[in-house]
Chains A and B, each alone.
Chain A
Amino acid sequence: MKKLSAIIIAVLILTVSVIFIVATETSVDASSRVELQDKKSEKESCCSSDIEEVSMSDLTENSLYQLNSEWTNQFGNKINLTKLKGKKQIVTMIFANCTYACPILVNDMRRIEERLSKEELRNVRFTLFTIDPERDTPEKLKEFAQNQNLNLSRWQLLTSSKSDIADLAALMGFRYKRENDGSYSHSNIISILNEDGELIHQQVGLSQDIEKTLNVIRNQNKQGA
């Protein structure tokens, strides 16, 4: 009799522990799934509320805006990368504390700006992405823009997370490395993106002849018109 009850109790305990294990496992799975869903809806809601017209399906396959990353401009406003769609973008990557190459790169872009007619400029924007998100706050970027006399109706300066910056740099073949003195070694590349955000031309090196770049911008303008 004693033996029988012992077996019954043992079976009961076994059942309970199995149920306990299964329940814990599934609850872990379920909670991580809920977490995933939360993350997903968070991402969707932020982007759909932020951008009016551009949806991911409007983007061409080669559009860099497929990254769909979140950026902050020099005024502290959040901007999804897809918002750059619709105008040609002349872009490069900089860090505001840069003493040598970045001012030259920016000046190269300004030389392009000066050579374009008012008509042509209507379809063109100039965008600087920072590679130094730790120090380049929106305020710092605004200050950089002022120091460089950038016309903020045509120029914008954007910062984001390290990871999103790396993604964009990778798509543009822009290489950079932080040095111990806080400066960055980096490629000197100006990239031209068409209205869809596709990379159509790169000007490599500082103080280069801008004729080819101008041609690309103008020809694309004609095609677009």
Chain B
Amino acid sequence: MKTLINISLFILLTASIVYAKKPSEHIPDMVKISAGTYTPLYVNDTTDQSEKVDAFLIDKYPVTNKEFLEFVKENPKWRKSNVNKLFADERYLSHWYDDLTLGKNVNPDAPVTNISWFAAKAYAESLGKRLPTVAEWELAAQADESNPNGYANPKYVARILEWYSKPSSKNLPAVGSVFENYYGAYDMHGLVWEWTSDFFNALVSGESRADGGINRNLFCGTGSVGATDFTNYPAFMRFAFRSSLKANYTTESLGFRCAKDIN
């Protein structure tokens, strides 16, 4: 009788472990980022523009090729042969072999790139998530391995800058390969640039638009502009990068991860 109880207990235990493990495959890991304040790089000097950020969840890893493939299987309109050019330019998923095949040269566990803002947003929404705001992303990315404010450490800033100066590699490594920060989020720097929900709030004129200077006639509210932190050069680069983006733009070094409100 004892063996019987032992055996059935063992089986039940195994079954419950197997069962408990299963759902985690469906809910990709997210980590909690505590509430904080983000001060935008460029501010209007007449008002306080630091932004309060509520605690939120962010994906542990950037979204991978494999994960995005699942999404396009379910959503034919986001396959590369179907997608409307308004929502993703001609380089969209250009590293994939075809609509539903990654191909030999693509690491399924590497972050998906060549992805537009519209596509990233649609992916996030399909999972009941959203893209992080600039403020949220910057807050999460501020942390180094041991400290929520890694930027206080000049070595951390220097390390990020070094990553930016390296040419982006065609063969991206798997997610999780760079570093895990204080919050448990991986690869916030050093792997790919990432989309944010409100990248378009980086207000600079430019390109072919009118006179190219920041001008009250072009942008209301940015009459006087000053930088808040001249030491954080990588932050300037991200700001410049975001202000150059268009929502259908795709490039091989730009991916994304999702965020979510808490509860």
Residues on A close to B: CB < 8 A?
A: 2-3, 5-7, 9-10, 13-14, 17-18, 20-21, 24-25, 28, 61-62, 64, 66, 98, 100-102, 163, 166-167, 169-171, 173-181, 183-188, 204-207
Indicate if B117 sits at the interface (CB-CB under 8 A).
Answer: yes
Are B85 and A171 in contact (CB-based, < 8 A)?
A: no
Are A187 and B219 in contact (CB-based, < 8 A)?
A: yes
Q: Hey, what's the 0/1 contact readout for B9-37 against A, CB within 8 Å counting as 1?
A: 00110010011001100100000000000
Q: B158: shortest Cβ distance to chain A, in Å?
A: 30
- Take A175-B200, A179-B47, A205-B218 as given contacts and tell me if A13 and B11 are in contact as well, using a CB distance cutoff of 8 Å: yes
Indicate if B172 sits at the interface (CB-CB under 8 A).
Answer: no
Are B118 and A170 in contact (CB-based, < 8 A)?
A: yes
Are A179 and B4 in contact (CB-based, < 8 A)?
A: no
Q: Residues of B contacting A180 with CB < 8 Å?
A: 47-51
Main secondary structure of the interface of B (DSSP, over half): loop
Residues on B close to A: CB < 8 A?
A: 1, 3-4, 7-8, 11-12, 15, 18-19, 22-23, 26, 44, 47-51, 84-87, 117-118, 121, 125, 130, 197-198, 200-203, 205, 209-210, 215-222, 246-247
Q: Residues of B contacting A206 with CB < 8 Å?
A: 216-217
CA of A167 to CA of B125 in the docked complex: distance in angstroms? 13
CA of A5 to CA of B1 in the docked complex: distance in angstroms? 10
- Take A18-B15, A185-B203 as given contacts and tell me if A179 and B221 are in contact as well, using a CB distance cutoff of 8 Å: yes
Are B7 and A6 in contact (CB-based, < 8 A)?
A: yes
**Nearest residue in A to B247 (C-beta to C-beta)?**
A170
- Take A13-B12, A169-B200 as given contacts and tell me if A204 and B221 are in contact as well, using a CB distance cutoff of 8 Å: no
**Could you list 22 A-B pairs, sorted by A, with CB under 8 Å?**
A5-B4, A6-B7, A7-B7, A9-B8, A13-B8, A13-B11, A17-B12, A17-B15, A20-B19, A21-B18, A101-B220, A102-B220, A175-B219, A179-B44, A179-B221, A185-B222, A186-B221, A187-B218, A188-B219, A204-B205, A204-B209, A205-B217
Are B3 and A3 in contact (CB-based, < 8 A)?
A: yes
Q: Residues of A contacting B47 with CB < 8 Å?
A: 179-181
